[in-house]
Amino acid sequence: MRQKKLKNVGTFLIFGGPSLFAFTAVVLIPLAFGLYLTFTNWNMATGTHAFIGLGNYKSILTDKTYLEQLWFTIKYALLTVVISNVGAFSLGLILSKGLKGQTFFRTGFFTPNLIGGLILGYLWQFLFTQVLPFMGQKYGWAIFQTSWLSDTTKAFWALVIVNAWQLMGYLMIVYIAGFVSVPSDILEAAAIDGAGRFRKIISVILPLSVSSIVVCLFLSISRSFLTYDLNLALTNGGPYGSTELASFHIVQKAFLSNEYGMGQAEAVILFIVVAVIALTQSAFMKRLEVEA
């Protein structure tokens, strides 16, 4: 019996050992070290590295600037999630009806998701600062006559629009996968009962697509809260620091101010906020799920 157990342990170490080692080295150890940093005042510039308990968390939760940025990030994420999901849902409906050339359009809408956030940010920065103002002045479009990135309100909407546009194509694919799995006989039965196009969407397609909606909401929530590269390239937190998202502020705090402990503590708080919102949304939507 003992020999058999040792053999099983040996088999596990041979086949599972490399994966376990990699997971420990890449995930568990950095996670534990990161949590430890939140309880220190480690600063590479000054060389300080002392244990301060919950000092970082107390400072963060009483920091008006950080709380304002966190609220700004929540508003940004909420608008991005709504716009990207409504747009993706609509595109998915249109491009799952067997239209001519729908494969081409699916590919076109999905392509922005393949472009890195930095590249996308610089492309849209050029549009917002050069192309659109030129067209606005030439054709008298008042909304585009000045750069959106020089106005605090318009810069916020620029971030929302670009991120939602990038997310939309990816979410569209998930929605299409859900739509094509809706049984055609149920749709036919609804049509026989006199249900119009809108009624079929509300009463049949939506309830049977809850699993796709849950996935899309989770993906869009997490990606919106963790936006950094787009924020850096498009607005760089400006004008006057008015568009600094939480992830952007965390990187600035940790790697520019060299306050690693404080930056890591902010990251933990952001993670908790995202986890609570995502899990609450997932639990609520699961209750609405209907089996075909």
Per-residue pLDDT of 1-60, as tens digits, reads 566 566 666 776 777 778 888 888 888 898 888 889 889 888 777 777 788 888 889 988
Q: What is the mean pLDDT of residues 183-202?
A: 80
Domain membership of residue 79 as a residue range: 55-287
In this predicted structure, what is the pLDDT of residue 162?
A: 94
Residue 183 lies in a domain: yes
* pLDDT value at 292 more than 60: no
Report residue 3 as tokens.
């020999």
* pLDDT value at 273 more than 80: yes
* pLDDT value at 290 more than 60: no
DSSP structure class, residue 43: B
In this predicted structure, what is the pLDDT of residue 289?
A: 63
Residue whose structure tokens are 């929605």 = 175
pLDDT band at 245 (very low <50, low <70, confident <90, very high): very high
Among 220, 218, 226, 225, CA closest to 278: 218
Residue 188 lies in a domain: yes
Residue 224 lies in a domain: yes
Residue 174 belongs to a domain with what CATH number?
1.10.3720.10
Residue 15 lies in a domain: no
DSSP codes joined into one string, 158-177? HHHHHHHHHHHHHHHHHHHH
**Regarding predicted confidence, which is higher, 98 or 113?**
113
Distances (CA, A) of 191 to 11, 170, 184, 187, 197: 58, 30, 11, 6, 8
Per-residue pLDDT of 160-184, as tens digits, reads 999 999 999 999 999 998 888 887 8
Q: What is the mean pLDDT of residues 118-146?
A: 91
H-type helices in the chain, by residue range?
Answer: 2-23, 29-37, 55-61, 64-94, 102-110, 117-126, 132-139, 152-180, 184-192, 197-200, 206-208, 210-225, 229-234, 246-251, 260-287
Give the residues across from 48 on adjacent strands. 43
Residue 20 lies in a domain: no
Distance from C-alpha of 75 to C-alpha of 13, rounded to nearest angstrom = 48
For helices 64-94 and 152-180, what crossing angle results, to 10°? Answer: 40
Residue 5 lies in a domain: no
Residue 17 lies in a domain: no
Report residue 204 as tokens.
């049949």
Q: What is the mean pLDDT of residues 138-163?
A: 91
In this predicted structure, what is the pLDDT of residue 194?
A: 78
Q: What is the mean pLDDT of residues 229-257?
A: 88
Average pLDDT, the chain: 86
Rg, the chain, Cα only: 24
Our count of domains for the chain comes to 1
Residue 149 lies in a domain: yes
Per-residue pLDDT of 69-92, as tens digits, reads 889 999 999 999 999 999 999 999
